[in-house]
Amino acid sequence: MKKLLIFCFVFFGIHYLQAQELALPPRIDLFRYSASASGNLNMFEYPNARIWGWSTNGKAAYSIERNVDGRGGRIIHFVIADLITDNTVFELIMDSFDYDTYGDDYSYEDLYHIYGPFISDALQAHNIVLGQTNDFMSFPFRRNNMTFNSQIIDIEYVRDGAGMFEQAVSRYQVLVTADNRRKIIASLTPVSGVTGYTYICGYFLSPFENRIMAVVAEEAWGYEGTRLNFRFIGCHLGVGFN
């Protein structure tokens, strides 16, 4: 039954895309401005991102592509996030293991094509405007006659279950400063309980609002090495600084 449903799903996706091909945004290296504190950069399960677009009311659409070490195969997380509340308003998980035994015969592009109708419907439902410039930039930056910067503060640790690390991060906060003013934009618990390091990677600027989407990375112990988990956090540049 599952194979029949998958076949129907694949057929529908291919049929739809014969009429309208889904245009993929370029891949972005979110760790380009950072360096591993553990020295295990070559061992990373290293994801890439695509920024699909923005709405005029505080939403952004992005996807994260990851080769799965150990298990094999590929997984894509497609997300539409509300950058005002930092809540996920839509999420779609695409796993190559759903379509072949070893998960290696389907590329990222194949998965996007299969799920194209659902992605297109979600983008339209949340008023995401495609085709905008999505340059990934590093902190600090100058805007509105102010200098903005970001850092991670108030890091808390635990020692149990730290994997290759001496201790594991259990909580941290992300701070953004505007000249001599500041605000906390997130208080986070790491995705993985064996996270050893956290990083401010950079930001994307909304083409419609005075708002950024900051990107944070968490380096965690994975399959025979370390892996990166990325977090996306909204920050309005005009309000909330004290």
Please state the domain extents for the chain.
2-16+47-130, 141-236
Taking only the tens of pLDDT, the chain with its 242 residues reads: 434 344 444 444 444 433 357 899 999 999 999 988 887 655 666 899 999 999 999 999 999 999 887 677 899 999 999 999 999 999 999 999 888 766 678 899 999 999 999 999 999 999 999 987 779 999 999 999 999 999 999 999 987 656 678 889 999 999 999 999 999 999 999 999 899 999 999 999 999 999 999 999 999 987 777 889 999 999 999 999 99
Query: What is the pLDDT at residue 102?
Result: 62
Q: What is the pTM of this model?
A: 0.87
Query: What is the pLDDT at residue 166?
Result: 83
> What residues contact residue 108 under an 8 Å CB cut-off, 6+ apart?
65, 74, 76
184 three-class SS: strand
> What residues contact residue 220 under an 8 Å CB cut-off, 6+ apart?
163, 190, 191, 192, 194, 195, 196, 226, 227, 228, 229
Query: What is the pLDDT at residue 159?
Result: 75
Query: What is the pLDDT at residue 183?
Result: 98
154 contacts 175 by C-beta, under 8 angstroms: no
Query: What is the pLDDT at residue 134?
Result: 77
92 contacts 122 by C-beta, under 8 angstroms: yes
